[in-house]
Amino acid sequence: MSETLHTDVLIIGAGAAGLSVALRLAEQHDVTLIVKGSLPGGASYWAQGGISVAVGEDDSIASHIADTMQVGGVLCHPDTVRMCVENGREQLEWLMAQGVKFTQSGSTEDAAPADSNVGNLHLTREGGHSFRRVVHSDDATGAAIQKCLTANALKMPRLKILGHRIAVDLIKDQQGRCVGAYILNESTRQVEVFAAKAIVLATGGASRAYLYSTNPDVASGDGIAMGWRAGCRVANLEFNQFHPTCLYHPNSRTFLLTEALRGEGAVLRLPKNVGVTVGSNAGLNPGSSNDNALGGSRFMLNYHPLAELAPRDVVARSIDAEMKKHGLEHVLLDISHREPEFIKAHFPTIYAYCLELGLDLTKDPIPVVPAAHYTCGGLITDLHGATNVPGLYAVGEVACTGLHGANRMASNSLLECFVFGTAAARHIAQTIHQVTLPGQLKPWDDSQVMESDEAVVILHNWEELRRAMWNYMGIVRTSKRLERAAHRIALLKNEVHDYYSRSKVTRDLLELRNLVQVAELMVRSAQLRKESRGLHFMSDYPDTDPAQAHDTVLEPE
Ligand code: FAD
Ligand code: SIN
């Protein structure tokens, strides 16, 4: 019989959210941090653009709040938005105190005022923001943060970090309190039992539900699915954000071309000789609307006055429309009109990566397509990051705090990870003394199941699920397509359930089970919203209906 492993706080996931909670709590409590795969990982590591904080000369808290609410399609919760925006500076100072190095400005135009605590930081611009507001470490902000925080975490004596562990399910006691979790140890292939006074889900989003995604493999919605099975309420899962500019290249892994490129002047073009130039680019300086040497016409001017810096949902839909209209496999992102030295200095990672593939950012327009990027919905939490299940917290992309509403503004999610990581850590520290550490918990029983003998079935089901989500629950939806998605997902769910109940758990099986669960919740949510708002665009309900200006909440079964 397996022994229960005890810890004060169990944190599942070591991205920006999990590390933020862990670093704050492990000073005074025994904390165990478990992570799928190795460190540093998660979507956090791949963040490029940066963190939005209103520290610019002319910027203000009020403006950052207003932009977030505007992009969020009236669904953002004002108290959450205020809390995140007001705490941005504190989080930035904390990160700098941890040792994260952010890019400094060479000029006054794009810098935070020199007299502020944060020095002379370079601020970049992204879609939806009225000001330069994005603090960054070149074009690899996530890597800079994750490497630094992970190194600090590894030095904390009361923080135990266990890699290659996959949370399978949460454990509740008879009173309905979350008291632990079953965790698959990938090395021993045993399922371990952890008990804790508080459990934090920091497992990230579910964008790998889609065929094309900017996210790493770990983004399989595990926390949302586990929380749902444990009785958490979920909200707004129809709002899946597609990033407009993912590199399109046969020899490339998933690779993002940051929105900051557009913030620094990159424009979107059709391939050369496709379409004709319509509209005017008067007053919008970057690039030209005419064909240049390698790329064709700009098209964003026909869709939105902010052109390439329109909110992300508008840009992704416009690219999708152009690709469908002209039968294209991709469009082009072009920053070649900026000085080569500027491009190399500001985007060294992207420049080097593209060059390896034979694409020179200083000369060539780069082929790009939209890809699933961010899960705006998730487990509903309060302002402490607490879910409706006592003892269970959700922080980061796994959560729905009310910050993003119907559409997340760029670079607001790392901010949310740190602000809510702090809030959850404080709340846990304040309340943990009232909780008794649970005793022995029921061991995992796999005596009735067999070794998984048809791994290929898992692969086929994954592909089928992702394709169905891409085709029927993508950037543009219709009621008919959603019905198709629901039908296919129901069949897959039955198959996966059947397989799961007969087989020993593996990482692939667990991820598939979770993705199918979350995909079902996403489609259910989308079917409830009979309008277009933010990221949810229905061509048979193209208008926004003021009567539906509310969250889509699904109650646990
Ligand atoms: P993650 O960083 O994804 O971490 C999740 C963790 O949970 C991982 O450690 C994972 O291994 C672990 N995990 C998952 N399931 C399990 C399980 N079952 N058991 C154990 N462990 C598990 N946002 C911004 O604000 N600014 C940006 O510039 C930006 N750029 C981005 C660029 C890219 C390419 C991507 C993909 C996203 C970007 N985002 C950006 C979004 C942002 O990075 C994420 O929303 C944020 O990092 C999520 O952090 P997290 O800690 O919630 O999750
Ligand atoms: C990017 O750098 O374009 C991603 C920013 C984000 O997703 O917030």
Q: Evaluate whether residue 20 is within a structural domain.
A: no
Termini Cα distance of the chain? 31
Burial 135-169 (b: 16+ CB within 10 A, else e): bbbbbbbbbbbbbbbbebbeebeebebeeebbbbb
Residue 498 within a domain: yes
DSSP code for 213: B
Give Cβ neighbours of residue 214 (< 8 Å, ≥ 6 apart).
46, 207, 243, 246, 254, 256, 371, 372, 373
Question: Which ligand 2 atom is nearest residue 257's CA?
Answer: 3
How many domains would you assign to the chain? 2
Q: What is the CATH number of the domain that holds 294?
A: 3.90.700.10
Ligand 1 test: best mutation among 23, 34, 35, most atoms within 8 Å of CB? 35
β strands within 56-124, DSSP E = 123-124
pLDDT of residue 305: 94
Separation of alpha carbons 140 and 146, rounded Å: 10
Atom 33, ligand 1: residue with shortest CA distance: 47
Q: Are 360 and 466 members of one domain?
A: no
Protein residue with its CA nearest to atom 39 in ligand 1: 47
**CB of 142 closer than 6 A to ligand 1?**
yes
Q: Return the residue whose CA atom lies nearest to atom 24 of ligand 1.
A: 411
- Is 514 in contact with 226 (CB distance < 8 Å)? yes
Indicate if 360 and 459 belong to the same structural domain.
no
CA of 263 to the centre of ligand 2 (A): 11
Question: What is d(CA 380, CA 382) in angstroms, rounded to the nearest whole number?
Answer: 7
| Phi, psi (rounded to 5 degrees) for 80 | -70, -45
513, part of any domain: yes
Q: Are residues 356 and 263 in the same domain?
A: yes
As a 3-state breakdown, the chain gives helix, strand, coil percent values, each rounded to 5, of: 35, 20, 45
Nearest to 452 by CA among 514, 387, 498: 498
Sign of the CA dihedral 477, 482, 483, 487?
Answer: positive
- Is 208 part of the annotated catalytic residue set? no
Please state whether beta strands 234-235 and 553-554 pair in parallel, antiparallel, or not at all (unpaired): antiparallel
Question: In whole angstroms, what is the distance from residue 236 CA to residue 169 CA?
Answer: 22
Tokens 């692969």 locate to 459
Predicted local distance difference test score (pLDDT) of residue 107: 66
Pocket test for ligand 2, best of 137, 258, 309, 346 (most atoms within 8 A of CB): 258
Angle at 312 between CA 290 and CA 71, to 5 degrees: 125
The contacts of residue 53 (CB under 8 Å, 6+ apart) are 88, 89, 91, 92, 133, 135, 415
CA of 354 to the centre of ligand 1 (A): 23
CB of 167 shorter than 6 A to ligand 1: yes
Residues 359 and 476 in one domain: no
Kindly report the CATH number assigned to the domain that includes residue 483.
Answer: 1.20.58.100
Minimum CA distance residue for ligand 2 atom 1: 258
Amino acid at 48: Q
pTM of the model: 0.94
How many Cα atoms are found within 13 Å in the side-chain-facing hemisphere of 144? 21
Domain that holds residue 358: 247-372
Among candidate residues 349, 372, 395, the one where a domain is terminated? 372
Measured between alpha carbons, how far is 458 from 508 in angstroms, rounded to an integer?
7
Question: Closest Cα to residue 134, out of 368, 342, 415, 339?
Answer: 415
pLDDT beneath 50: ranges in the chain = 276-290
Residue to mutate (ligand 2; options 262, 411, 416; most atoms within 8 A of CB): 411
Rounded to the nearest whole angstrom, what is the distance from the C-alpha of residue 320 to the centroid of ligand 2? Answer: 19
Ligand found nearest the CA of 220: 1
d(CA 145, CA 24): 15
Q: Looking at the CA of residue 14, tell me the nearest atom of ligand 1.
A: 9
Q: Which of 336, 61, 42, 32 shows the shortest CA–CA distance to 180?
A: 32
238, 404 Cβ separation under 8 angstroms: no
Looking at the fold, whether 255 and 357 belong to one and the same domain comes out as yes
- Is 364 found in the same domain as 261? yes
pLDDT of residue 295: 66
What residues pair up with 193 in beta bridges, in sequence order? 4, 182
Indicate the residue among 372, 404, 437 that finishes a domain. 372
51 Cβ contact partners less than 8 Å away, ≥ 6 residues apart: 88, 91, 92, 95, 134, 135, 136, 141, 411, 414, 415, 418
* Ligand 2 contact via 48 beta carbon (within 6 Å): yes
Residue of 214, 246, 55 whose CA lies nearest to 134: 55
Give whole-number Cα distances, 401 to 228, 346, 379, 500, 551, in Å. Answer: 16, 32, 8, 31, 11
Q: Is-cis flag, bond preceding 244, omega within 30?
A: no
The string of DSSP codes covering 28-55 is TS-EEEE-SSSSS-HHHHH--S-EE---
**Which positions ≥6 away from 62 have C-beta within 8 Å?**
none
Domain annotation covers residue 469 = yes
CA of 45 to the centre of ligand 1 (A): 7
Which of the residues 269, 298, 312, 466 is marked catalytic?
312
CA atoms within 13 A on the CB side of 374: 27
- Whether residue 58 is contained in a domain is answered as no
CA distance 159 to 394: 19
Angle, alpha carbons 198-200-206 (nearest 5°)? 155
Q: Is the minimum distance from the CB of 406 to ligand 1 under 6 angstroms?
A: no
Asked if 271 and 366 sit in the same domain, the reply is yes
Backbone angles phi, psi at 234, to 5 degrees: -125, 160
**208 and 217 in contact (C-beta within 8 Å)?**
yes
Closest CA to 287 of 335, 217, 225: 335
Say whether both 365 and 467 belong to one domain.
no
Which stretches of 35-139 are assigned E, i.e. beta strand? 51-52, 123-124, 134-135
- 306-353 pLDDT, tens per residue? 999 998 899 999 999 999 999 999 999 999 999 999 999 999 999 999
Q: Is residue 334 part of a domain?
A: yes
What ligand 2 atom has the least distance to the C-alpha of 259?
3
Last residue of a domain, one of 372, 393, 423: 372
Stretch (H or E) spanning 89 = helix 88-98
